Amino acid sequence: MIPRILRIELKNFRSLKQVAVDLDPFTVLVGPNGSGKSNFVLITDIIHNCLSLSIEYALISIGGFHKTLFRGSGEEEKIGFRIIVQMNDDSFADYSFEITSSHNDAILVTHERCVIMKGSNKINEYEVRNGQFVKPIEGISPQIKADRLALSAASATESFRPVYDFLVSMRYYYIFTDDILAPLRMPATSDEYLNWTGSNAAPILRRLINDSGNKKRYERICRLMKLIVNDVEGVIYNEIDKSIQFRVDGGSEEPWTFDLIHMSEGTLRVLGILLALYQAGHHSVICIEEPEAIVHPAVMEVLVQAMLEVAHERQIILTTHSPDILDFKYIKAENIRIVTSKHSQTRIATVSDSSKKIIREHLSTPGELLRIDELNPDTDEANNNASDIDIFGEPFSGVKLTDG
C-alpha cells in the first residue's frame, strides 16, 4: 500500500464548518459550483505551506485568517485541521493543529498534536498548547514560537520525519495555460516540483529529460501526448531559449517543431496535467482541480487512465463536474465523494446505497446519474460528517488501521 491520506477533518475553514472525509488512493470529488470542492482539496496546499513556509504565508496567500474563517463560527474563532496518514504498511500518523488570530492579527497556534502508531503500538507522540509542550518531543527540547508548528522541529527525529516529509510533499494543481506560457516572458528556473498553476513547466520537463532515472516518466508523457493530440510526436526542451517545444508530424521526412504559443489551450493544459502526474521527485499526494476544463471529452479517458496508473505510486485526488470522468470503467462508486452545500456549509459523503445499487445492477452509470442530478450522497453519512468534530479526540478515531 502506498503512503496516503486516510482521513481529513476540518473545522471553520471557509465553507467547511465541520467536515470529516475518508479518502481512497484514487478519489474523485464531484459536486456543483460553489459546493466547496476546491476548499476541501486546497487543504493539502495549506498544510504544505504552513509547514514548509509559515502559517502566515499560507493564510495570506488565500486572503488572510478572517477571510478564511467560516462565517458564523461564533465566539470560537479558530480553524482546525486533522489529517490521518498511512505512512507504510504498519505505520500511521494522526496530526492535528488549531490556529487563531490575536487582537493585533498575529497568527497563533493554540493546539497541536502528532501521534505515531506502528502496528498496535504507540511509538511516539507530542502535544503543544499555546506554545508550551504538554507532551514533549522525545529526544529533543526545541523552543517553539507561538506562530510556528512544532512538527517542523519534530522532523529532526527519526519517527516524526516521515510525517513531515509526507505532508510537505503534497501537491495541489489548477493548471492555467497562460502560466505555462508565462516563461516565454519571464523564464522560470525551479525544478523541485511543478508550481500549482504550471508556470515552471519548462524546467520540470528539462529535469525529466536530463535525469536518466526519470527516462521512463518522460517517455510516458511523450507517448500519452501522441495518443491525445493528433500528429504530436513528442515534447522536447529547447536549451537555447529554455522553453518547451512540440515535435509534430508535418507530412515531411523530419517532424516539425512548434513553440508552445502555436499549440491549443487544451493541448497545453493536458501537458501541464501530465507533468503534474509524472514529475520527478517524491510527491505523496497529487490534487488536480477540474482536469476536464478546456479538454476535449475524448481525451479524458486517456488522462484518467494515466491518473489511475500514477495512483499506484502517489495518491490522486480530483475535483470534477464531468460525467465522462465518472463513466470511465475503472472508476468505482467507492472512489466517488459527493460534495453538497446546505445553509452555505459544505457536506461531503460517499455515494448513497440506492445510487450504488442502480450502478451495480447496470441500470445507470455514475455519469448518467450525475447528468440527471440523481447521483445522491449518503445523507446520514453527510450529516454525521458535519456533526461536532473533536480533532484532538481519541487518536485515530474514525479510521480502521490495517496493515494494507
User: Which comes out higher in pLDDT, residue 187 or 373?
Assistant: 373
The pLDDT, as a whole number, for residue 402 is 67
Same domain, 15 and 148: yes
Query: Do 173 and 193 contact (CB within 8 A), yes or no?
Result: no
Same domain, 272 and 359: no
> Does residue 168 surpass a pLDDT of 60?
yes
Is residue 303, in this structure, part of any structural domain at all?
no
The number of domains in the chain is 2
Same domain, 153 and 190: no
Residue 149 CA: distances (Å) to CA of 47, 60, 65, 343, 376:
10, 17, 16, 33, 39
Q: How confident is the model at residue 175 (pLDDT cuts 50, 70, 90)?
A: very high
Q: How confident is the model at residue 11 (pLDDT cuts 50, 70, 90)?
A: very high
Same domain, 190 and 136: no
Q: How confident is the model at residue 385 (pLDDT cuts 50, 70, 90)?
A: confident
Same domain, 181 and 275: yes
Q: How confident is the model at residue 403 (pLDDT cuts 50, 70, 90)?
A: low
CB atoms within 10 A of CB 188: 18
Q: What is the span of the domain harbouring residue 145?
A: 1-169+286-296+320-404
- What contacts 236, CB < 8 A, 6 or more positions away? 209, 244, 245, 246, 247, 257
Same domain, 7 and 38: yes
Whichever domain contains 346, its CATH number is: 3.40.50.300
The string of pLDDT tens digits covering residues 324-370 is 999 998 899 999 999 999 888 999 999 999 999 999 999 999 999 99
Where helices occur in 213-283 by DSSP H, the ranges are 215-228, 265-278
Average pLDDT value for residue range 26-40: 95
Is residue 229, in this structure, part of any structural domain at all?
yes
Domain end call among 225, 257, 281: 281
Same domain, 74 and 61: yes
Q: Edge to edge, what strands does the sheet with 243-248 contain?
A: 232-238, 243-248, 256-259
**Burial state string for 288-299 with b = 16 or more CB within 10 A and e = fewer than 16:** bbbbbbebeeeb
Same domain, 139 and 191: no
* Strand partners of residue 288: 173, 318
Same domain, 190 and 161: no
Same domain, 94 and 149: yes
Same domain, 244 and 290: no
Domain end call among 253, 281, 309: 281
Look over the chain and give the mean of its residue pLDDT values, rounded to a whole number.
91
Same domain, 155 and 203: no
User: Which comes out higher in pLDDT, residue 304 or 76?
Assistant: 304
Average pLDDT value for residue range 44-58: 95
Task: Calculate ∠ Cα 124-167-386, nearest 5°.
Answer: 90
The pLDDT, as a whole number, for residue 75 is 60
Is residue 309, in this structure, part of any structural domain at all?
no
